[in-house]
Chain A
Amino acid sequence: MTATTDAPAMEVGRDRRRKEDRRLITGRTRWTDNLSAPGMLHIAMVRSPVAHATIGAVNVKAAQEASGVVAVVTGADLADEQGTLPNVWSITPDQKVPPHPSVAVDTVRFAGEVVAVVVARSAAEARDAIELVDVDYDDLPVVLDTRDALADGATILHPDLGTNESAHLVLDFQTEGAAGNVDAVIETASKDGIVFEREYEQQRLIPAFMEPRSMLCDPTGEQIVLWSATQIPHVLRVLLALSLGVSESKLRVVAPDVGGGFGGKLQVTPEEFITVLVARRLGKPCKYTETRSESLMVAHHGRAQHQKLTLAAKKDGTVTGLKVELEADMGAYLSLLGGGTPTLGAFMFNAIYKFDAYRFDLRTVFTNKAWTDAYRGAGRPEATFGIERLMDDFAHELGMDPLELREKNWIRHEEFPFTTVAGLEYDSGNYEAATAKAKELFGYDELRAEQAERRDRKDPVQLGIGVSTYTEMCGLAPSRILGALSYAAGGWEHASVRMLPTGKVEVITGSSAHGQGHETAWSQIAADALGVDFDDIEVLHGDTAVASRGMDTYGSRSLVVGGMAVVAAAEKVVEKAKVIAAHMLEASPDDVDFAGGAFSVRGTDQAKSMAEVAFAAFAAHDLPDGVEPTLEGDATIDPNTFSYPHGTHLCAVEVDTETGQVTIRKYVCVDDIGKVVNPLIVEGQVHGGVVQGIAQALFEEAVYDESGTLVTGSFTDYLVPSAADLPTMVTDRTETPATTNPLGVKGVGEAGTIASTPAVVNAAVDALRPYGVDDITMPLSPQRVWRAIQDGADR
């Protein structure tokens, strides 16, 4: 075979249409709820209608006798084997972690907590029978706000802990040149600078992925198999083994097609524990699929922080110090990451600005609400919101243009790599370029002029402009840093690249996509690395029996860590193939070049294709000494550092002052995510991320009434917006490659969400400053906006 002379086009950087699409657009999907097994039984949950109560009798007789019911299991029945749901992040050495049974035994602590489990031969019969389970509840006082939970005399949710505070974390940072810690810096500013204080609210949100969670456990084989719509099959497997006393080698977890996650499916759930325990007990496959009402009520919520920020600055607006005090609502129990989620924000409040001193003070607190955990951005959107709102408010205080204030304080392009006051080294960035591009695309000056005009003629529709210059830390995460933060696991990722004898390729990744297009992007990476056709590559993931090693997908880590593992594994394949090819070509590996998918002896036309080498490795008739048969490369990458995408988002809103309605007139984002593997996928991530951030600003909130019942318990009331409620945005990029990985990529999954919320709120507040408004609590419902205008007029 002769060498091919035409090299295939570079895949990385191409707008490749996705491999995943075919099955998804034709309905040939494998959602967990589609699956069934012979003799499968159906699970329905009896859930507490009350938020805080002791459990008296649980009467199951009527349910047991109902048509089709095979078993009714209570907390008492499972008390000895259900263990406790795990928390893997001790944000302080003395963090208090209450036991968390999957099925409540003596106390319920949030509305929706499972009290009994019905197993029946059909889903309808299981559903019918849950109404026949009669539970006696003795109500206890309900605590719904972290402030109330921390007050003297508050009802304690977990009496053995003696407090509703899970942890109090204080991180004190200062630069080498600082005159002292943040107290000193604030003290100095109070004398001859400015001290500026603000309080903001991060409302409680619900991730609301479109696919309700579903799980099927088949205990009948040699391994217990759990299919689950999860983002974390590998993590789940380890924790199921540790928590339930199942031998890990007897456990296989599969995430089939998963319909969105956004951090909401990054959890080890009571429902999964229950499904495994019940299936094992009955010796039959058991399936549980939640209803949307259940999902909104009990699948973990996000955000939920009271924020207080204190800024110290010089009179000219140069910032010097930042103090952040947070109360983060954990809900009734500590979730998998628990306090770790707001802790991630610790490193981001200082954002892109140069502070001399900074303190992060976090209290994580229990309340009688659903537990909280990661939701798109996990701690970083909260941080970016706080600092970007603060900067806009401070700019107004100084009478300075908000972009000018940012520019005065941000890390200059020439100053990279730059170590921030929080101790992170940002490798590269160019805030100037992103901002200049954004301003131009936005028509900043023209819109400011229009704003002035509307103000002059007291137009009932006012215009506002909001700024958000963000960075984020992603590519979670260097394992040693996670260890230092007392997170129980690491942040590496694994890939195998396998050349099959016929020249096709399998890429096995420990990443676990749920919409991000890894099958396509990893194929692009491998195609370039191996010189193999994009269509000859199959990406396998999500099944612990197939992708045996992995740390799954969250924290915008998959490309930066998982993608790099693919690169490294492919390099190993090429290395080994080169040695074999050299042997086949009777040359020294030093004289062999690899290009266009073929190995050639330099200066000759002697060549072997990758496919030929793969077959030779399989046949193993004549391999060089020390080289094992088959052609496969294996790599586990532990990143050295985080990656730091950044961007500038500009938002113009129209506020109808008569009704309070806020409409986005224009949204421009310029993001710098380093080098781009697939621009189409990147743009899609930005669109989706920005919209979730807009939705937090304008539409969404998980609302509880005074009894602790979730009022926004369906999409009728929890307002996920449709296309009709949203603008078309202008997206663009600058490209400042990461210097910390071979592809120069930075990750993009959460960036849009991190940036957009403050951009929108800043815009609305900007519109209404002449009306005496300086803040509006999210979501900016028409009611709240109108009320803010009325209140502002009264001042």
Chain B
Amino acid sequence: MTSITVNVDGASYTDEVEPRMLLVQYLREQLGKTGTVVGCDTTNCGACTVHLDGRSVKSCSVLAVQADGHEVTTIEGLATNGELHPMQEAFHESHALQCGYCTPGMIMQAIDLLMDNPDPSEQEVREGLEGNLCRCTGYQNIVKAVRAAAKAGA
């Protein structure tokens, strides 16, 4: 077991974990932050996307021990004082989710996308989301939501 201290969604946690524990498992099982989910086992689907030190990563492909001393933001840390993040609002407005399983990862990646490119074209949004799979929406409204969020200055 290894001791780690991680700041998650603004709070600091110290825990003993097995080195083999994936960050996504640490979030879900140890911290009870079940908003972040697992969708595959080959780093393809992106459902587990969180921010690590402000950049998007697939939390299934980071060990919890690698996050020791670092900052993690999950979907649950986005809303401040009950107010939704503009990207969350945009997804809701644009009907950019159906079953919602891919949604946390999609939202986290979309936010990261806008950090690199605050005013992306439709094609740039599509390419920026190449690591996030959705089976329900066909992506059309997701692209719409991200561009709406960009316009709103997200």
Binding site for B on A (CB under 8 A): 17-18, 20-29, 31, 33-34, 124, 208-212, 257-260, 262, 291-293, 514-517, 680-681, 683-692, 714-716, 720, 722-726, 728-729, 752
Chain A proximity mask over B117-139: 1 for CB below 8 Å, otherwise 0: 00000100111011111111111
Residue B56 is within 8 A (CB to CB) of chain A in the complex: no
Residues of B within 8 A of A258 (CB): 99
B78's nearest neighbour on chain A, judged by CB, is: A26
Q: Residue B93 at the A interface, CB < 8 A?
A: yes
A684 touches B95 (CB 8 A): yes
Q: Which of B93, B107, B138 contacts A687 (CB 8 A)?
A: B138
B98, A515: Cβ atoms closer than 8 Å: yes
Q: Tell whether, in the assembled complex, residue B126 and residue A684 are in contact, meaning their CB atoms are under 8 Å apart.
A: no
- Inside 8 A of A29's CB, which chain B residues have their CB? 34-35, 37, 100
In the assembly, what is the distance between CA of A210 and CA of B44, in Å?
A: 11
A sample of 19 more A-B contacts (CB under 8 A), given A25-B97, A291-B41, A684-B98, is A18-B92, A21-B92, A26-B88, A27-B34, A27-B74, A27-B104, A29-B100, A34-B34, A258-B99, A260-B101, A260-B135, A292-B40, A515-B98, A516-B98, A517-B98, A716-B42, A722-B126, A724-B126, A724-B127
| Cross-chain contact B40 with A715 (CB below 8 angstroms) | yes
Chain B interface, DSSP helix/strand/loop, else mixed: loop
Chain A contacts of B92 at CB under 8 A? 17-18, 21-22, 25
Q: Shortest distance in angstroms between A654's beta carbon and chain B's nearest beta carbon? A: 15
User: Closest Cβ of chain B: how far from A66's Cβ, in Å?
Assistant: 16
Interface presence of B141 (CB below 8 A): yes
CB neighbours of A720 from chain B (8 A):
133, 135
The smallest beta-carbon distance between B134 and chain A, in angstroms, is 7
Query: In the complex, which residues of chain B have a beta carbon less than 8 angstroms from the beta carbon of A208?
Result: 135
Nearest CB on A from B72, distance (A): 13
7 intermolecular pairs with C-beta atoms under 8 Å apart = A26-B79, A27-B34, A29-B100, A34-B28, A210-B39, A515-B136, A715-B45
A31 vs B101: C-alpha distance in the bound complex, in angstroms? 9
Given known pairs A25-B91, A715-B133, the reply for A210 and B33 (CB within 8 Å) is no
* Cβ-closest chain A residue relative to B142: A723
Q: Across the two chains, which residue of chain B brings its CB closest to A689? A: B138
B148 at the binding interface (Cβ < 8 Å)? no
Q: How far is the CA of A728 from the CA of B36 in the complex (A)?
A: 28
Contact partner of B133 (CB less than 8 A), chosen from A21, A514, A687, A722, is A722
Least CB distance from B10 to A in Å reads: 15
Tell me the complex Cα distance, A25–B84, Å. 9
Contact in complex: A24, B34 (CB < 8 Å): no
Q: What's the minimum C-beta distance from B145 to chain A, rounded to whole angstroms?
A: 10
Bound Cα distance from A26 to B108, whole angstroms = 11
B146 shortest CB reach to chain A, Å: 9
Residues of chain B lying within 8 A (CB to CB) of residue A24:
97, 99-100, 103
- Point out the residues of chain B lying under 8 angstroms from A690, CB to CB: 138
Q: Are A515 and B99 in contact (CB under 8 A)?
A: yes
* Cα-based distance from A734 to B136 in the complex (angstroms): 23
CB proximity to A under 8 Å, residues B70-86: 74-76, 78-79, 84
B20 interface contact, C-beta 8 A: yes
- Asked if A210 meets B47 with Cβ closer than 8 Å, knowing A25-B92, A257-B100, the reply is yes
Question: Any chain A CB within 8 A of the CB of B57?
Answer: no
Q: Which A residue's beta carbon lies closest to that of B28?
A: A34
Nearest-CB distance from A552 to chain B (Å)? 16
| Chain A residue contacts of B39, Cβ below 8 A | 210-212, 292
CB within 8 Å for A21 and B97 given contacts A211-B39, A291-B41: yes
| Nearest-neighbor residue (CB-CB) of A293 within chain B | B41
Name the residue in A21, A680, A722, A723 with the highest tally of chain B Cβ atoms < 10 Å from its Cβ.
A723
Task: Select from chain A the residue with minimum beta-carbon distance to B34.
Answer: A34
Count, chain B residues at interface, CB 8 A: 56
Query: In the complex, A692 Cα to B42 Cα: how many Å?
Result: 21
> In the complex, which residues of chain B have a beta carbon less than 8 angstroms from the beta carbon of A20?
100
Are A260 and B136 touching (Cβ within 8 A)? yes
- The answer to the question of B64 belonging to the interface, with a C-beta cut-off of 8 Å to chain A, is no
Pairwise interchain contact B99-A514, C-beta atoms closer than 8 A: yes
The reply to whether A691 and B127 contact each other, CB–CB distance below 8 Å, is: no
Q: Chain B 10-28, CB within 8 Å of chain A: the 1/0 string?
A: 0000000010110000001
> Which residue of chain A is the closest to B99 with respect to CB atoms?
A515
B143 close to A (CB within 8 Å): yes
A292 and B98 contact, CB distance less than 8 A:
no
Q: Please give, as numbers and ranges, the residues of chain B lying within 8 Å of A210 by CB-CB distance.
A: 39, 45, 47, 99, 101-102, 133-136
Does B8 have its Cβ within 8 Å of any Cβ on chain A?
no
Q: Which chain A residues lie closer than 8 Å to B134 at the CB level?
A: 210, 723
Cα(A208)–Cα(B134), bound, Å: 10
Task: Output the least CB separation between A259 and chain B (Å).
Answer: 3
Question: CA–CA, A514 to B136, complex, Å?
Answer: 10
Cβ-based interface call for B38 (8 A) = yes
Residues of B contacting A723 in the complex (Cβ-Cβ under 8 angstroms): 125-126, 129-130, 132, 134, 139, 142-143
Cα-based distance from A688 to B134 in the complex (angstroms): 9
Residue pair B75, A26 in contact (C-beta under 8 Å): yes
Task: Confirm or deny: B61 has a beta carbon within 8 angstroms of a beta carbon on chain A.
Answer: no
Q: Which residues of B contact A26 (CB under 8 A)?
A: 35, 75-76, 78-79, 84, 88
- Within 8 Å by CB of A692, from B44, B88, B135, lies B135
- Name B141's contact: one of A212, A517, A687 (CB within 8 Å): A687
A124 touches B42 (CB 8 A): no
Determine whether the beta carbon of B100 is less than 8 Å from that of A688: no
Top 4 nearest A-B pairs (CB, nearest first) are A27-B35, A24-B100, A515-B99, A259-B101
**Measured CA separation A21–B104 after assembly (Å):** 11
In the assembled complex, the Cα of A688 lies from the Cα of B96 at a distance in Å of 11
Give CA–CA (A209, B98) in the complex, Å.
12
Question: How many Å from the CB of B31 to the closest CB on chain A?
Answer: 12
Minimum CB distance partner of B47 in chain A: A210
Whether A687 and B137, one on each chain, are in contact in the complex, defined by CB atoms closer than 8 angstroms, is yes
Any chain A CB within 8 A of the CB of B140?
yes
Bound: A681/B75 CA distance, A:
24
Contacts A31-B101, A515-B100 hold; do A687 and B140 have CB atoms under 8 A apart?
Answer: yes
Cα of A458 to Cα of B45 in the assembled complex, Å: 40
B141 contacts across to A, CB distance below 8 A: 683-684, 687
Pair A262/B38 contact, Cβ less than 8 Å: no
Look across to chain B and name the residue whose beta carbon is closest to the beta carbon of A26. Answer: B79
Residues in chain B near residue A262, CB distance under 8 A: 135
Query: Which listed residue (B76, B79, B129, B143) contacts A728, Cβ 8 A?
Result: B143
Check B41–A292 contact: CB distance below 8 A.
Answer: yes
How far in angstroms is the closest Cβ of chain B from A429?
25
Distance between B69 CB and nearest chain A CB, rounded to angstroms: 24
Is the beta-carbon distance between B138 and A691 smaller than 8 angstroms?
yes
